[in-house]
Structure 1
Amino acid sequence: MLFLISPYSRKLSDGLFLETSKRIAKEYPEIEHNEMIIDNCCMQLVSNPHQFDVMLMTNLYGSIVSNVCCGLIGGAGLLSGRNYGDHYAIFEPATRNTGKAIAGKNVANPIAMLNAGIDMLHHLGHVQHADLITKAMVKTICEDKIHTPDLGGTAKSTDVIQNIIDYILTVDVRP
């Protein structure tokens, strides 16, 4: 597990975050834990992303890192974000772009929102449903090459969703 910090510019908040993280990490000695400054993390994400497994960070750094990751894989319209609390969880698109420039044009990439729904289904234990939607999504993007403009395609948002629905309707999900 990697703790992301910026102790030089945010001494109090990051200091408390790091201190608390280290204290809790001692309760789980079987889990390796390290710390990395956020600036270096962003550079490492671009140059060697496969070195990372689990990262723990504040909301501010989570926004920065999720935007870097979205850029690495093709855009903000693909990844979802997860926020876990003691009793509740929130699933959302990874970036919080308001999309005003494309509002009403039917060109927004729906994949990030679908991924958020898939994350929620997994969290609720509906793995079969999550896997079915994932398969339909992968088929749509990778095999059928139905891409919205942010991915270099010409498909509309509704084209992507309709292709996913069409695939799901062809699958026999009976046990």
Structure 2
Amino acid sequence: MTNYKICLIEGDGIGHEVVPAAREVLEALGLDLEFTEAHAGYETFLDVGTSVPGATIEAIEAADATLFGAATSPSEKVPGFFGAIRYLRRKFDLFANVRPAKSRPVPGGVDGVDLVLVRENTEGLYVEVERRYGDTAIADAVITKRASSRIGKYALDIARKRRGELAVVHKANVLPVTQGLFLSTVMEEAAQVPQVRAYDVIVDAMAMHLVRSPQRFDVIVATNLFGDILSDLTAGLTGGLGLAPSGNIGEKHAIFESVHGSAPDIAGQGIANPTATILSAAMMLDHLGEPEAAARIQRAVDELLREGSVTRDLGGALDTRGYTDALVRRVSRS
């Protein structure tokens, strides 16, 4: 049995509740997992003066994978503060943000959705280069051929292993220099992979198509901002952010995180839904080469959702503790 070193970062708010829940589920699998704990986020910044201490960087470097809970980002600029997860994406060159969206047995979800949204994770508007001149504010958007080529190859590889279709999302009709470079570069890569049918979709049209007929899509690749927005839309189609996992993947390191925020309004009340973090842990196991263990978690989650044994945000009566206990029992028996 392979030993895996997993770094756990709770982050902020409900991260302190959902990450321990995910750890219990992981421990119930019976794998040889060695956990370390590290700190990052706004609370860490307030405590020690930096969002990501050096010890956290070392812990991630020493781990086979990292599971991150939730992070708070103030809406106003705070001197010295930087967003922890965005910093870690750049620090470890986690160039691919992977967000699967799959229909689950919950009220309000759309049936038949099974897609993966792949988002370029290191550049675009999220380079966070902004400046203000009086009443005028300017932000730089950076698109490079290298990053576009890399994310295109990654998305094409996922599509090749699935249904063989890749939608390339862009706004090159308005931004032909930046978005045009992204589109042309990805399509150049697609020309080298004849097993995949690649086609382009303008981002606003994609938003409409996802609302009206999301079942038609297999793999979607987009630049950073567009991918961020569309992935929340696909989460809304399949049960909401409480069920939405994601992974930040690089060549050497990977950090898996729930898509939702730190939810300070319910933090500490014991009612947070840990499913997104638990499904992110399942993605982590699949990444590590443990697909059977990942499938056990997926099945157990779907069984509870189908029964209605869920947390209050999904219309159930369970708190975080009760839901975690129920899931641990299912995983242990599977």
State the TM-score, normalizing by the size of structure 2: 0.48
Distance 1:26 1:155 in 2: 50
Alignment partner, residue 194 of structure 2: 29
Instruction: Return the alpha-carbon distance in structure 1 between the equivalents of residues 196 and 292 of structure 2.
Output: 30
Residue of structure 1 equivalent to 2:264: 100
Structure 1: 5+ residue stretches without partners: none
Alignment partners' CA distance in 2, 1:73 and 1:16: 32
| CA–CA distance in structure 2, aligned partners of residues 106 and 8 of structure 1 | 48
Q: Could you report, residue by residue, the CA deviation over 1:85-107 in whole angstroms, capped at 9, with x for unpaired residues?
A: 333333222x3422111111122
| Aligned residues of 2:248 and 2:255 also touching (Cα < 8 A) | yes
Distance 2:197 2:271 in 1: 43
Separation in structure 2 between the aligned mates of residue 16 and residue 87 of structure 1, nearest angstrom: 27
The separation in 2 between residues aligned to 1:146 and 1:12, in whole angstroms, is 50
**After TM superposition, what 4+ stretches of structure 1 lie above 6 angstroms from structure 2?**
none
- Name the aligned partner's letter for residue 295 of structure 2: D
Q: Does 1:70 align with 2:235?
A: yes
Name 1:158's counterpart in structure 2: 321
Which protein has the bigger strand share? 2
- How far residue 149 of structure 1 moved from its aligned partner, in angstroms, is 2.1
1:90 matched to 2:255: yes
Which string of whole-angstrom CA distances, capped at 9 and with x for unpartnered residues, describes residues 61-110 of structure 1? 121111111111221100112333333333222x3422111111122211
Q: 2-side partners of 1:10 and 1:155: how far apart?
A: 48
Offset of 1:147 from its aligned partner?
Answer: 1.8
CA distance, structure 2, for counterparts of residue 84 and residue 170 of structure 1: 31
Deviation, 1:17, is: 1.1
For 2:203, give the aligned amino acid. I
Instruction: Evaluate the alpha carbon distance shift between residue 109 and residue 11 of structure 1 in structure 2; reply closer, same or farther with a 3 A threshold.
Output: farther
DSSP-derived class of the 1:3 partner: strand
CA RMSD of aligned residues (A): 1.7
Superposition pairs for residues 99-138 of structure 1, below 5 Å? Answer: 99-138=263-302
TM-score (normalizing by structure 1)? 0.88
Shift of 1:8: 4.2
In 2, are the aligned partners of 1:146 and 1:159 still within 8 Å (CA)? no
User: Following the alignment from structure 1 to structure 2, what is the Cα–Cα distance between the partners of residues 9 and 113?
Assistant: 37
Distance 1:153 1:96 in 2: 19
8 Å contact from structure 2 (residues 242, 260) kept in 1: no
Distance 1:97 1:10, change over 3 A: farther
> Which position in structure 2 is the counterpart of 1:59?
224
The structure that has the greater radius of gyration is 2
**Distance of aligned partners of 1:12 and 1:102 in 2 relative to their CA distance in 1, 3 Å threshold:** farther
May I ask how many residue pairs the two structures share in their alignment?
169
CA deviation map 1:136-173 (0-9, x unaligned): 21222112x112222122321121111011122334xx
Higher helix share: 1
**Contact 2:244/2:260 (8 A) holds in 1:** no
- Indicate the residue corresponding to 1:168 in structure 2: 331
- Tell which has more relative contact order, 1 or 2 (C-alpha 8 A, sep 6+): 2
Deviation at 1:15, TM superposition (A): 1.7
The percent of aligned pairs where both chains have the same amino acid is 33
96 and 11 in structure 1: CA distance in 2 versus 1, 3 angstrom threshold: farther
Whichever residue aligns with residue 80 of structure 1, its letter is P
How far apart in 2 are the matches of 1:88 and 1:155?
A: 35
